[in-house]
């Protein structure tokens, strides 16, 4: 009974999580995920601060849209670049 009411309120179609708008949609990016696989063209849908979907999402609704314009889109890598060894080398320890 409850399911029938939900379907009736939704205009006869079942509403899924994919039907709700994204908070942010990053379009036309070249995604490099850091796994060593080659980049691929795709869009990224973000909802509640998390990646909710990756694919061809150009028709999806979103509060904010960013056109990546073919630029690389990558996860927030941790930069371990450091110059800590320079001091050791100067002291003859490195």
Range of the domain at 32: 18-75
Q: Which comes out higher in pLDDT, residue 1 or 78?
A: 78
- Tally of structural domains, the chain: 1
Residue 53 is assigned to a structural domain of this protein: yes
Q: Does position 68 have pLDDT exceeding 60, yes or no?
A: yes
Residue 36 is assigned to a structural domain of this protein: yes
Give the pTM: 0.62
Q: What is the pLDDT of residue 7?
A: 39
Residue 10 is assigned to a structural domain of this protein: no
Q: What is the pLDDT of residue 87?
A: 64
CATH assignment of the domain containing 38: 2.30.40.10
Residue 6 is assigned to a structural domain of this protein: no
State both tokens at 20.
């709700």
Q: What is the pLDDT of residue 56?
A: 96
Residues 6+ apart with CB under 8 A from 26: 43, 44, 46, 66, 68, 73
pLDDT tens digits along 8-66: 444 444 434 456 799 999 999 999 888 888 999 999 999 999 999 999 999 999 999 99
Residue 58 is assigned to a structural domain of this protein: yes
Residue 88 is assigned to a structural domain of this protein: no
């Amino acid at each position: 009974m409850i399911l029938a009411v939900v379907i009736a309120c939704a205009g006869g179609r079942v509403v899924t999580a994919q039907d709700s708008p994204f908070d942010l949609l990053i379009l036309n990016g070249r995604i490099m995920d850091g796994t060593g696989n080659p980049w691929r063209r795709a869009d990224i849908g973000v909802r509640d601060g998390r990646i909710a979907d990756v694919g061809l999402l150009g028709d999806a609704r979103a509060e904010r849209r960013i056109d990546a314009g073919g630029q690389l889109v990558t996860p927030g890598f941790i930069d371990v670049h450091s110059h800590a060894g320079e001091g050791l080398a100067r002291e003859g320890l490195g």
